[in-house]
Structure 1
Amino acid sequence: MLRDVTQWRGPRAALVAVAGLGVIAGLTLRTASFPAALPPGTPDPELDVGLRLVCAAAVLVAGTLAYLTFARRQDEPLAMACLPGLVVTGVVLRHLVVTLPGVARFQPAARVVPGAGAWVLLASGVAMTAAGLAAAFAVRRAG
């Protein structure tokens, strides 16, 4: 039984690393798409620099946890990867639910919609969270 739980440690850590790369890719893509230039005074619909830095810090934490999982051959560090995943997911969901509709209400003619970066960030955050939770369940089964 213990063999079954630990054999997936590598793929879970690799999933967290790939999701971290997805977050980095999502941070380089546009998080809002609008067809024309916005009129003066319209708030910028892109994810702001502070939240991008929070996502980048979450990736650094997740990468460190994935490295510790390989170095220590334990699932406990990887179980904590759900926290950076939740941070990234929360930041993007806030952006999608609060910021983009707010800009559209302020300037309805702008037709601001989520960009590719928002969807990549959301998928990467969810994948990171899922891998962390899977590692947590593996630790619980093994213990």
Structure 2
Amino acid sequence: MDERRKRLRGPRAVLVGAAALGVLAGLTLRTAEYPGMLPPGTPDPELDLGLRLVCAAAVLIAVTLAYLTFARRQDEPLAMACLPGIVVTGVILRHLVVTLPGVTRIQPAARVVPGAGAWVLLVSGVAMTATGLAAAFAVRRAG
């Protein structure tokens, strides 16, 4: 059983690292698409800088946890990867649920829809969360 746990630790850490890279890719892509110009005074539907910085900080934490997992050869640091994953998922869900419908209420003709970056961020956040939780369950089973 311990051998199986060791085999799965590496792929989980790599998945967290790949999800962190996915967050970085999502931050460079547009998070909102709209075909026309928004009327003056309409807030920009893109994810704002402060939330982008929060996601970037979560990436730094996730990569550090993945590195510690390899360096210590333990699942315990990787179990904490669910926290940055929850942060990224929460930020993007807030963006999808609150911001985009708010803009379309102001100007329904704008037809603001989530951009590719929003979906990449959401998938990456969910992947980090799921991987961290899987590592936490592995630690609990071993202990």
How far the C-alpha of 1:6 sits from its partner, in A, is: 2.1
Q: Which residue of 1 aligns with 2:7?
A: 7
Q: Which residue of 1 aligns with 2:43?
A: 43
How many residues were matched structurally?
143
Q: Which residue of 2 aligns with 1:64?
A: 64
CA distance, structure 2, for counterparts of residue 5 and residue 138 of structure 1: 7
Of 46-55 and 35-44, more deviation after overlay is shown by: 35-44
Residues 12-47 of structure 1 show CA distances to partners (whole Å, capped at 9, x for unaligned) of: 000000000000000000000000111110111000
CA distance, structure 2, for counterparts of residue 141 and residue 3 of structure 1: 13
CA distance, structure 1, for counterparts of residue 27 and residue 4 of structure 2: 36
Q: Which residue of 1 aligns with 2:133?
A: 133
Structure 1 gaps of 5+ residues are: none
CA distance, structure 2, for counterparts of residue 15 and residue 5 of structure 1: 15
Give the fraction of aligned pairs with identical amino acids, expressed as a percent: 83
CA distance, structure 1, for counterparts of residue 99 and residue 28 of structure 2: 19
RMSD of aligned residue pairs (Cα, Å): 0.5
How far the C-alpha of 1:2 sits from its partner, in A, is: 1.5
Q: Which residue of 1 aligns with 2:21?
A: 21
Q: TM-score, normalised by structure 2?
A: 0.99
Q: Which residue of 1 aligns with 2:31?
A: 31
Asked if residue 105 in structure 1 is aligned to residue 105 in structure 2, the reply is yes
How far the C-alpha of 1:131 sits from its partner, in A, is: 0.6
Structure 2 gaps of 5+ residues are: none
